[in-house]
Chains A and B, each alone.
Chain A
Amino acid sequence: MSEKKKKLLQGNEACVEGAIYAGCKFYAGYPITPSTEIAEGMSVRLPKVGGKFIQMEDEIAGMAATIGGSLAGFKSLTATSGPGFSLKQEALGYACLAEIPCVIVNVMRGGPSTGYPTGPSQSDIMQAKWGTHGDHPAISVTPAYVQEILTETVRAFNLSEKYRTPVVVLYDEIVGHMREPITIPAPGELEVIDRAKPDCKPEEYFPYDDRYLIAPLAPFGSGYRFHVTGLNHKQDGFPTNDSKVIRENNERIMRKIEDNKEDIWKNEEIFLDDAEIAVFAIGSTARSARFAVEKMRAEGIKAGLLRPLTIWPFPDKAVRELSKRVKAIIVPEMNLGQMVLEVERCSKGAEVLGIHRVDGEPINPGQIIEAIKKFK
């Protein structure tokens, strides 16, 4: 058996590989730094696999057309950064309520506003959960390595198709633009999930059939004629003012994520078994943290790392359990305090300390080491 060929790929290029692997056939987006390589890659790759790429007139149109592509039955992707993620929020909420699967990549850059387009940041963590108005479900995955961007993009499509909801792939500019050797998995090596399609008679089909937690979704044009709206709706898809139905539907779209958190969560735990001081970090900051934690271990300090690959729904159980075992949880993040609020919320006993940085420079291992030593 020959070893699979390694390739040196950029994070954003790995995202393209992941999308194609997952069976993505539709991309609509708008160029924006530092996510543009994803659009460029998809424009080349999609037509080769029978897919469609379109560069829309703005970010909003990119998100809307992505939802349209998905309603037509195709796995759909869009990618953006900073201001673009803000512009996409209204349509993202539409996909939450109308339960249209799609994947949105947000390569985080410095903000607010135009901010620092080429500088890294992790300041859209809360926006990935709360960016669109109204209560809504959110799933967001947070890869930290180039190989992982590929596998997490596949997982994002799987979660999106399985739970009929938009999924945000969230990583910082450093991870998006760095290059590492990766291998492209062979077909069949990774699980690929496709959305459930109805097998009932068209006249019996309800796009939000209340017999299901997650109803099958028929593609437009497949003989199931149904209605989709961004208004609160009944199981048949038509608008309603019935408060009972509105409540039940709003609660259900939250519950479909809430009840399946164990399936959606994914954490990497490093040296946590006997750790006294834990670090909680994502993306490139988690890479700094791992470096720092290994250095601490070499010095005999019992430090460990909890690295969530799913940041939404928030890994509250893992943090709660961890907080009972460690003295402190250190939360380094390239923002002025977002994840740390969630860690504080979930923490039972442990002291929580944030390390924050918004100058376009990464949080380096030295900063984390310094914080760990405070609790030694």
Chain B
Amino acid sequence: MSAPAVTEKKEKISVPFDYNKYLRPNKLPHIWCPGCGHGIVLKAMLRAIHNAGLDQDKVCVVSGIGCSSRTPGYVDFNTLHTLHGRALSFATGIKFAKPDMKVIVVTGDGDALAIGGNHFIHTCRRNIDLTVLVFTNATYGMTGGQYSPTTPIGSQATTSRYGSIEPPFDACEMAKAAGATFVARGTAYHTLELEKTILEAINHKGTSVVDIIDACPTYFGRMNKYKSATHMMEVIEKDGTVNVKQADKLPPEKVQGKALRGVLHKVERPEYCEQYESLIMEKAKGK
């Protein structure tokens, strides 16, 4: 193989993505541990935002509290780091007040499904146009590795030394049941697929939820005897999931116990801000 041919092939594959356009380089390095999946998800999110052709001034990234919720500090948009569990409520205020903004919520599984569970349910019910990225690592990393609402039964955590006895939530099933009109799952491992899924979520009108499985090697990994970050990614993200499109073609035993990736639910339903403007504000004018 000759050198020029390789160069040519590389150029065809991709033009190097200019992450710095969307990052705040002087706010880096980030706080995430080596092997943490959050950085991979962040990059997929930035590529998706770029591909959606959004104006940086009109994008707002809102988060709660936790490791993943540090994301807004690193990205160059209108950014808001709020209270534990309340990202969706702050985001609802911004979006409803200024519907021309694209509001993306970055939240962890504890933030979104435990302390913020009620807001998660009602955001989905309203179908307000928010893109919700749930970083699901089955751990409260910021506080040192306690069990979370997605920790599998039997898992070790600093607050479940004898193994967790609580059944985990399925964020996608909950989002769907509560009325979200776009529900998908991705993993940090399947990074290109994740980028496409996030792009589709951004382009969807209404509440879109993407449950993103990524690993916390520092706490969940160590306490549950994973050999390394890559080992965790392989076991949990690669082997522990299957794309929903392939799942139909596989024998049941190959799908059993695996989380489905890809777009799991997509329907059209009137969006909250548009309903308010077209129904309530119009009716109020006449009175």
Interface positions of A (Cβ within 8 A of B): 25-26, 28, 44, 47-48, 50, 52, 54, 56-58, 60-62, 64-74, 76, 90-91, 94, 219-223, 225-231, 238-239
Contact = CB atoms under 8 A, between A and B. Distances in A.
Contacts of A50: 281
6 contacts: A28-B96, A58-B118, A71-B80, A223-B57, A225-B76, A238-B73
Contacts of A66: 93
Contacts of B83: 64, 90-91, 94, 230
B158 interface: no
A56 B89 contact: yes
B10 interface: no
A69 B92 CA distance: 8
B222 interface: no
A220 B60 contact: yes
Given A56-B122, A65-B89, A221-B57, A230 B97 contact: no
B183 interface: no
Interface in B257-279: 276
Contacts of B78: 220-221, 225-226
Given A64-B82, A91-B83, A94-B82, A238 B27 contact: yes
Contacts of A94: 82-83
A225 B56 contact: yes
Interface string B79-108: 111110010111111111110110000000
Contacts of A70: 93
Given A91-B86, A228-B80, A72 B122 contact: no
A61 B56 contact: no
B82 A230 contact: yes
Given A60-B86, A91-B86, A220-B78, A68 B281 contact: no
Interface of B: 27, 56-58, 60, 62, 72-73, 76-83, 86, 88-98, 100-101, 118-119, 121-122, 276, 280-281, 283-285, 287
Nearest to B120: A57
Given A91-B86, A221-B100, A71 B94 contact: yes
A230 B83 CA distance: 7
**Which residue of A25, A47, A239 has the most chain B CB atoms within 10 A of its CB atom?**
A47
The prevalent SS among residues of A at the interface is mixed
Contacts of A221: 57-58, 60, 78, 98, 100-101
Contacts of B284: 44, 47-48
Contacts of B79: 225-228
Contacts of A67: 90, 93
B151 to A, nearest CB: 25
A31 B58 CA distance: 32
7 A-B pairs with the lowest CB-CB distances in the bound complex, closest first: A68-B93, A65-B93, A64-B89, A47-B284, A72-B97, A57-B122, A61-B89
B58 to A, nearest CB: 6
B32 to A, nearest CB: 15
A69 B81 contact: no
Contacts of B77: 225
Contacts of B91: 68
B287 to A, nearest CB: 7
Given A26-B93, A48-B287, 18 more contacts: A28-B92, A28-B93, A57-B118, A61-B86, A62-B89, A64-B82, A68-B94, A70-B93, A72-B93, A90-B83, A91-B86, A94-B82, A94-B83, A225-B79, A226-B79, A228-B79, A229-B81, A230-B83
Contact of A65 (B27, B58, B80, B92): B92
Contacts of A73: 97-98
Contacts of A239: 73, 81
B97 A69 contact: yes
A54 B92 contact: yes
Nearest to A222: B57
Most buried by A among B58, B76, B91, B92: B92
B73 to A, nearest CB: 6
A65 B57 contact: no
Contacts of A48: 284-285, 287
Contacts of B118: 57-58, 61
A198 to B, nearest CB: 14
A210 B284 CA distance: 44
B81 A52 contact: no
A44 B281 CA distance: 10
A72 B98 contact: yes
- A58, A220, A223, A228 interface centre (most CB from chain B within 10 Å): A220
A258 B76 CA distance: 35
B127 to A, nearest CB: 13
A230 B64 CA distance: 10
Q: Which of B56, B76, B97, B119 has the most CB of A within 10 A?
A: B97
Given A64-B86, A64-B89, A64-B90, A54 B73 contact: no
B93 A69 contact: yes
Nearest to B102: A221
A70 B62 CA distance: 15
Contacts of B119: 57-58, 61
Contacts of B80: 68, 71, 220, 227-229
Given A56-B122, A231-B81, A68 B101 contact: no
